[in-house]
Amino acid sequence: MERMKQVQVLSLFVCALIGNVLSGSSHDFQDLKDREGVLSFLEYSEAVSSSSSVTDEPLMVGLTLIQGADSKGAVCLDGTLPGYHLDRGSGTGKDSWLIQLEGGGWCNTIRNCVYRKTTRRGSSKLFEKQLPFTGILSNKVEENPDFFNWNRVKVRYCDGASFSGDSQIEASQLYFRGQRIWSAAMEYLMAEGMQNATQALLSGCSAGGLASIIHCDEFRELFPQSTKVKCLSDAGMFLNAKDISGGRTLQNFYSGVVSLQDVQKSLPSTCIDHLDPTSCFFPQNLVAAVRTPLFLLNSAYDVWQLQSSLAPSSADPRGTWKECKQNYAQCNSSQIQFLQDFRNQMLDAIKVFSASNQNGLFINSCFAHCQSERQDTWFADDSPRMGNRRIAQSVGDWYFDRENVKAVDCPYPCDNTCHNLVFNDVVSNITFSQSTSHMKPLAQGTIFNGHCISYAHSAGPEFLIAFQAEDSQELNISSRGCQF
């Protein structure tokens, strides 16, 4: 049985390429390397999840480039056309539309953005030609009970500012056109039939989850009042929190994103009128003012924030947080208390938002990031639960007004349904943990020579994932093994 998905892979630690592109402080270099490593790990743990579809081979959906978008200035960082993947709805879902905005971090300096445009996060020349549709994008009722037969779209992310901003730097041939990409994609999809939608849901993961908050009310305005429109942000609650050194790593990073890409013009006036633009890029200052019904799906111990903004290498020069960042089970009591304080900040940030009956919440106490596109966390037999409801059921109950959903988990370590992510030394091996039980890789491989790395579940199947260096041949990913 063939279960193969082609995966384009840059090495998890893209040191060689970054080193060729960037110059600057060692802290900037290390933080960029860390962010890219975390993003790569999260992407490939999702790939492993998609290779273990609950039923058969996940649906592979082809790429469509938005022809003519360049005439409106709607282009990726390198000037190439933006794109999306669309699987048409059927039956009762033929007039319902789900738009998923892809995530993938941001770039905050010219150097970082020059590097980014050499990756699929900045150039459609490097987009995968097909993507697996799993989780909230699945076309199988047993994997996605409420949205399986909708028109399901994944809009690719290649601007570096959460589909916002509008500027360019001629000397570096950088085009910051996130807002224009958003507008062009929506215009194109409306012409493809979305204008006739009776139901619509705008969703997004990570940087796409932030984008779904920023653009939620704009999305609502595309449709007549008779259309049911709501928004979902998955792992989009990035907090303006102090890092372990007392600094504001993410605030400083966002300040660069906002100023470089001229994001201010994309941000809601309800925020800009009384706060500075950088503050208005933080969702904690946006969500309470969103008029359209919005659902926040987030881990209280978001691993991207732990790795990249709470305990980045620049804030931890002695590496005292290294083991804790890689494996939550290795955190000492003071580190756990720091993470509990972060959880409390998140809950405080959404108090006003959660008071509205139209809004929904699923804040679980897992070490995770992006749970709606992964089949194992969205809807599977052992998916994370609160109140005996899986994430897919909670989102569906909220969207279709079957129940009010305001699910907030008890603090770690009370939830034994989590699919926690464990980062080992990613230069040599990675462990993808599908449960809270401690995991060990079955084997190790060298990333840079195309060898396979194995992932094991102590109570389930073995997964193998293939990595390729830039100069090696294409590899395939499979739940049965690696093939060259």
Catalytic center residues: 206, 302, 369
Tell me the C-alpha to C-alpha distance, in Å, between residue 375 and each of 22, 249, 382: 36, 32, 10
Structure tokens given for 210: 């932030």
CA–CA gap between residue 396 and residue 146 (Å, rounded) = 6
The conformation of residue 42, written as its DSSP 8-state character, comes to H
Tell me the C-alpha to C-alpha distance, in Å, between residue 54 and each of 24, 73, 138, 480: 46, 41, 11, 15
- For residue 253, give every residue at least 6 positions away whose Cβ sits within 8 Å of its Cβ, in sequence order, or none: 106, 108, 309
CA–CA gap between residue 465 and residue 479 (Å, rounded) = 8
- For residue 129, give every residue at least 6 positions away whose Cβ sits within 8 Å of its Cβ, in sequence order, or none: 62, 63
The conformation of residue 439, written as its DSSP 8-state character, comes to -
The conformation of residue 326, written as its DSSP 8-state character, comes to H
- For residue 464, give every residue at least 6 positions away whose Cβ sits within 8 Å of its Cβ, in sequence order, or none: 452, 453, 454, 455, 477, 478, 479, 480, 481, 482
Tell me the C-alpha to C-alpha distance, in Å, between residue 106 and each of 173, 206, 236, 284: 17, 10, 13, 18
DSSP 3-state assignment of 208? helix
C-beta of residue 217 within 8 angstroms of C-beta of residue 291: yes
Tell me the C-alpha to C-alpha distance, in Å, between residue 237 and each of 49, 178, 209, 284, 362: 23, 20, 8, 7, 12
CA–CA gap between residue 299 and residue 174 (Å, rounded) = 34
Q: Are strands 174-176 and 167-169 parallel, antiparallel or unpaired?
A: antiparallel
C-beta of residue 78 within 8 angstroms of C-beta of residue 183: no
Residue 461 has a CB neighbour count (10 Å cut-off) of 12
DSSP 3-state assignment of 257? helix
